[in-house]
Amino acid sequence: MRTIRITGTGSALPGRIVTNKELEQMVETSDEWIRERTGIGERHVSVGETVVTLASEAARKALEQAGKRAEEIDLILVATSTPENVFPCTACEVQREIHAEHAAGFDLNAACSGFLFALQTAQAYIQAGIYRTVLVIGVDSMSHMVDWSDRSTCILFGDGAGAVVLRESKGGLFVQAAHSDGAKGDVLTGCSRHRKNWDHPDEAKAAYIQMDGQSVFKFAVRRVPEIVEELLEKARIQKEEISYFFLHQANRRIIEAAAKRTGVDISRFPMNLQEYGNTSAASIPILLDEWNKKGLLKKGDKLVLAGFGAGLSWAGSLLEW
Ligand code: UT7
């Protein structure tokens, strides 16, 4: 059976770092509160960078590591909920930037779960024999979506991009699961900032992220361990065989609770949210790139990736490195 293997990773972050101390000057909050409730210490915010420049930089690095030229890419899939424009899509803009002339490309939006949905779409294309080499990018510029006067959301998010190059592989493992619960979507919303509301101009101001934090927290803590279990069952392997669980980097307490419920030591749940905050669709590929660059991933390692977020949606993949 055809499956996929990640052959290269890359990431890109804006240069401007906003610390919790800096946020103390903007809203009524404290470094102590943010660290205790979320684990976040700072985040990167775009000043000049765009989702296209960040995604393109991450893509170039992933291609370099994979030893592939841009012209060899068959498909570019970009997971983002913060595109610069509604069209052209970010994937086409990245194609232009990196000169991937032979690639088709489109964007996909499943908010913070988007990278996993894109990875699974890539696997389906490869498995169907349609494409062989796919570039999957998770990128978001959440700083454009948050209300910087709302302390309950602005402290959480950051900007960034992560990319992986996927190749067809004979053998190896790739198991996937994805779910949505649109009926509960109201607990986390963000309107397009491009929307002009002809009948109700006031509604255009709802561009910012609105979130019932506690509901999202409970949803994540319940659904992440469930999907991990589902992946292990599908793959017919034990949790002890998994080297690392790369979860969406939203909140340290969510990851700790998920580790506890899964019955796996927290040391096998990599984290970097202390430096980047929640970068939405970019969080998992950025983390994966970091672990890869540190040489912490060995060929044959079994990894679980799991994301969750607006939709509500949650998705996971179990794959072999
Ligand atoms: O990709 C998915 C995106 N979303 C998430 O992952 C969010 C998941 N949820 C969370 O991470 C947590 O719910 C938050 C970090 C957002 C909030 O933590 P919490 O422990 O659920 O706090 P809370 O909302 O219950 O608020 C506790 C108190 C409230 O004050 P009172 O009512 O007890 O007086 C808030 O007004 O903390 C207050 N508060 C803050 N205080 C200082 C809320 N935000 C802040 C803040 N600084 N930034």
- Ligand 1 centroid–CA 152 distance in Å is 6
Q: Which of 310, 166, 305 is nearest to 231 (CA)?
A: 305
Q: Specify whether the CB–CB gap between 13 and 249 falls below 8 A.
A: no
CA distances from 45 to 12, 40, 156, 243 (A): 12, 14, 12, 32
Q: Residue 203: pLDDT band by 50, 70, 90 thresholds? A: low
Q: Specify whether the CB–CB gap between 137 and 161 falls below 8 A.
A: yes
Q: Which of 121, 113, 135 is nearest to 179 (CA)?
A: 113
Is residue 196's pLDDT more than 90? no
Q: Which residue lies with its CA nearest to atom 39 of ligand 1? A: 152
CA distances from 212 to 151, 207, 320 (A): 13, 16, 36
> At residue 162, what are phi and psi to the nearest 5 degrees?
-135, 145
By percentage, how much of the chain surpasses pLDDT 70?
A: 95
- Ligand 1 centroid–CA 155 distance in Å is 10
Per-residue pLDDT tens digits for 209-248 = 899 999 999 999 999 999 999 999 999 999 999 999 999 9
* Region 190-195 average pLDDT: 64
Q: Which of 38, 37, 58, 129 is nearest to 293 (CA)?
A: 58
* Average pLDDT, rounded, for the chain: 94
- Quick one: pLDDT at residue 193? 55
37 Cβ inside 6 Å of ligand 1? yes
* Region 46-73 average pLDDT: 97
SS3 214: helix
- Quick one: pLDDT at residue 205? 52
Q: Which residue lies with its CA nearest to atom 18 of ligand 1? A: 37
Q: Residue 206: pLDDT band by 50, 70, 90 thresholds? A: low
* Region 117-139 average pLDDT: 96
Cα–Cα distance, 34 to 95 (Å, whole number): 38
8 Cβ inside 6 Å of ligand 1? no
180 Cβ inside 6 Å of ligand 1? no
- Quick one: pLDDT at residue 3? 84
Q: Which residue has the higher pLDDT, 57 or 201?
A: 57
143 Cβ inside 6 Å of ligand 1? no
Amino acid identity of 225?
A: P
217 Cβ inside 6 Å of ligand 1? yes
Burial code (b: 16+ CB inside 10 Å, e: under 16) for 239-276 equals: eeebbbbbbbbbbbebbebbbeebebeeebbbeebebb
Q: Specify whether the CB–CB gap between 254 and 283 falls below 8 A.
A: no
Tokens 């996909």 belong to: 108
* Region 260-286 average pLDDT: 98
Alpha carbon 190 to its chain's center: 17
* Region 120-133 average pLDDT: 94
Q: Residue 140: pLDDT band by 50, 70, 90 thresholds? A: very high
Is residue 143's pLDDT more than 60? yes
Q: Which residues are catalytic?
A: 112, 248, 278
User: Which string of DSSP letters, residue by residue, matches 139-184?
Assistant: EEEGGGTS-TT-HHHHTTB-EEEEEEEEEEEES--EEEEEEE-GGG
CA distances from 51 to 13, 79, 300 (A): 10, 11, 32
SS3 250: coil
Is this model's pTM higher than 0.85 or not?
A: yes
* Region 109-131 average pLDDT: 96
